[in-house]
Amino acid sequence: MRLLVVEDSAPLSAALLKSLKGEGYNCDHAGDGRAALRFIDAYEFDLVVLDLMLPQLDGFAVLRALRQRSCPTWVLVLSARDQVADRVAALDSGANDYLVKPFALDELLARLRALSRRPTDDPRPVLAHGELHLEIVSRVARWQGEALQLTPKEFALLELLLRSRGRVLSRTQIFEKLYASASNSSDKAVEVIMSTLRSKLAKAGAGDPVQTRRGFGYVIA
């Protein structure tokens, strides 16, 4: 799941990125409002964690611009502004949730999980393909009830294909979902992850649910 952190405090953004990446999120970071909109125009994000007091453009301007683009991305505002009027203004501008600083990391993670489960994304706590099951909250993949030892990137790839079931995804589309823009990897990394995922599924007896459409990409039908 791809996430953008918009926060001008270097220590806080560094701590957030470390924690979120540890939870399996693919994260980018913008330090001001204009940089945030450049990211939003260039990439497709599932979630945005947005501060309100930002250089260049404040968080309210970012929210309004994002919604004017008809962008469906979920936005969690993370701000030291704790007045009811601030919360109302942010929610009216298009935010989906609001958390006041200082905050508990566990609560932030729980709110992000809750946003990611909202119906316009995918309400199902478990994605399934036959006897292959992905438990979204616990991040566990199972074949016939037995846990598969997948890496975060392997799990993310399988989740992406199951959520996009029937839709062919190109290597570039998959790469942009799995890797941050600052990554030194190339989209050829997708082939490596696909290979190791297929190997683990085959070893478990699950076969290969992923079809390769040569010249187009990958799909789970």
CATH code of the domain covering residue 159: 1.10.10.10
Boundary of a domain, candidates 53, 85, 116 = 116
Confidence at 124, pLDDT banded by 50, 70, 90: low
Same domain, 96 and 156: no
The whole-model pTM stands at 0.61
Q: How far is it, in rounded angstroms, from Cα 51 to Cα 98?
A: 10
- In tens, the pLDDT along 164-191 reads 888 899 999 899 888 877 777 888 899 9
- In tens, the pLDDT along 56-115 reads 999 999 998 888 776 778 899 999 999 999 999 998 888 999 999 999 999 999 999 888
- In tens, the pLDDT along 32-72 reads 999 999 998 888 888 999 999 999 999 999 998 888 776 77
Q: How far is it, in rounded angstroms, from Cα 175 to Cα 196?
A: 16
DSSP-derived letter for residue 128 is E
Establish if 121 belongs to a structural domain.
no
Residue 100 belongs to domain spanning: 2-116
Q: How far is it, in rounded angstroms, from Cα 5 to Cα 35?
A: 11
Give the three-class secondary structure for 80. Answer: coil
Do 209 and 129 form a contact (C-beta atoms < 8 A)? yes
Q: Which residues contact 139 (CB under 8 A, 6 or more apart)?
A: 24, 152, 155
Residue 12's closest CA among 98, 106, 107, 101?
A: 101
